[in-house]
Every structure is written in C-alpha cells, then in structure tokens.
Amino acid sequence: MSVVAISGGVGGAKLALGLDRSLPAGELTVLVNTGDDFDHLGLKICPDIDTVLYTLADLADPAQGWGRRNETWTLMQTLESLGEETWFKLGDADTALHVARTRRLKAGSTLTEVSEHFRTQFGITSRILPMTNECVQTRIDTDEGDLAFQDYFVRRRCAPRAHTIRFVGATDAAPAPGVIAALASPGLEAIVLCPSNPYLSIDPLLAIPGLRKSLESRAAPLIAVSPLIGGAAVKGPTAKIMQELGIPMTPVSIFEHYRGLIDALVVDSVDADAAARLPIPTFSTATLMTTLDDRLRLARFVLDCARTLPRH
C-alpha cells in the first residue's frame, strides 16, 4: 500500500513513524511543513523536517519528542558564557546536522536534496520531502505585534494572544520537486493528514497553490486524523490558538477547517458521538500515542479505514 502522509512536527511524526513501520519499505512519502524554518546563529534550522528525520531514524528524544536522544549541550553552555542568545536550544549532535545542512545549501544543493541525503545517511527507507524549496514563513499577528513563528512559539512560549496567522511567500512558492508526482502517482492508495496543528503545521502546506491544487485533484482518498481528544489538544498550542481564534474545540471544527478537501476523519473514541453527524465517513479509536505500539496500532487503523474509501 503506497501512502503519502502530510505532517508537521512532533504529533505528525508519531503517526508517520507508525506508518513507516506498518508499510513495506519505500511505500511511504512524508510531506513536511517548512513554514517553521528559520536562520539562527548563522545556521539553517528546519525543526519539523528534523523531527521527522530523528523520529523515523529512532534518534528522537522520547521525553521531548523533538531533538536527539542522549544529547549534550556544550555548545549552548559555551554560548551562554559568551553572552550569546540561547533561547532556542540546540544540542551538540543536532547542531552538527544544521551545520551540514547550511554548508550543503550554501554549496548549491536544494533543501529537497539535503533532506534526501540525510534520509539515506540515517537509513530511513521512507521518502521525506519538504513542502517547498522556497522560503515560506509562518507569522502570527499577536497583541504584541507581528511575530515570526519561532519567536512566538519558542522565545515567547506562545504567551501573546494570537489574532491571525499568515504564510508569507506561500502564494508564490512552488511545491518541492517530487511532491506533485507523489500525490499524482497512479499507485498511491491513500493520503493521510497527520494529527498536527491544522493552523500552524498543516495550513502552510495548503497555502501553496500548486500543492493544494494537487490535493484537490487527487485520485487517492484523503483521510485526516483529528489532533483533538475530548475537547483538548494533546500537545502544543493547538488549543490556545483555537480558543483565541474563537474556534470550538470539537471534531466538527476540524472537519469544517478541512471541508471540501478530506474524504474521512478519524477521531478519538471519546469524540465519536460528536463526529457521528458529519457529512463524511468518520472512524473512532484511541488516538493518543504515548508508545510505539500506540503509533503502530493507530497507523494500521488509519490504513484499514482508508482501504474502505473510494477513489475519486
């Protein structure tokens, strides 16, 4: 079964890992948000791509879900002693990846090519594609002014009240090479919207006209996994963003956000009744992923559900 997963960082990477381990080698392609990417300390940082890389390579820190396991922090400690900025924590091994990426990009490689190189170096069989090779920046208009994503998310810890979210550069950006081909592949059997933040992690991909058009003209069914469980978000600022934007925290809101795009919605069992009256097929199961077994079980459930959906 050939599958494309659309993912942000930690939550999406968990399901991507389950899909990676449940499908034959090479049958999964993960399209990853790059709206969070930024330059820091002279290095190109791609948080969501790196989280997916580390997760699929079994290198991720299991406590945080991001960064590398058994990390050391000599670089940060030394920078702090020199009076440099340390609000964005970069472990030593993680920094090596950013150094390698930055060097390759400056030498003329694209982000797609660099990500492919890292994938093969880590022994990952699934493809990992950035949504675009061009610069798209997620920016949040807040009561403290216009903030770049990492300033809002990490430096300010999501404290400012969000009013609107913009994706600067998305309108003019082209999907990265391989993205359109993956979505249009005759052998593609399902597209999975992972349970990433719809507004911060999935919307940047959907804001790229060519990528959205390709999704709208697909033949394979598209099934989304809700990031909400019982009116709450598992992790990150999803709940806060929804509350500040005046969006009810229900499966209905997730459906409305993706209306016209998705063919089915997977919700947690506690939300089954709330989703039952939606005008698309809904499936319910335990969606909290705290262990590898959870990731595998949910991935296989989603794949089984996708097999019941008709092609376009």
Q: Give the domains, in start order, of the chain with CATH numbers.
A: 2-307 (3.40.50.10680)
pLDDT per residue over 4-14, tens digit each?
A: 999 999 999 99
202: which residues sit within 8 A by CB, 6+ positions away? 6, 8, 33, 193, 196
SS3 assignment, position 275: helix
Where helices occur in the chain by DSSP H, the ranges are 10-22, 47-56, 74-81, 92-106, 111-121, 149-150, 179-184, 203-206, 209-216, 238-244, 251-257, 272-275, 292-307
Position 66 pLDDT exceeds 90: no
Expressed in percent and rounded to 5, the helix, strand and coil fractions of the chain are 40, 20, 40
Q: What is the model's pTM?
A: 0.96
Position 191 pLDDT exceeds 90: yes
Tally the residues of the chain: 312
Q: What is the band of 190 on the pLDDT scale with cuts at 50, 70, 90? A: very high
Position 234 pLDDT exceeds 90: no
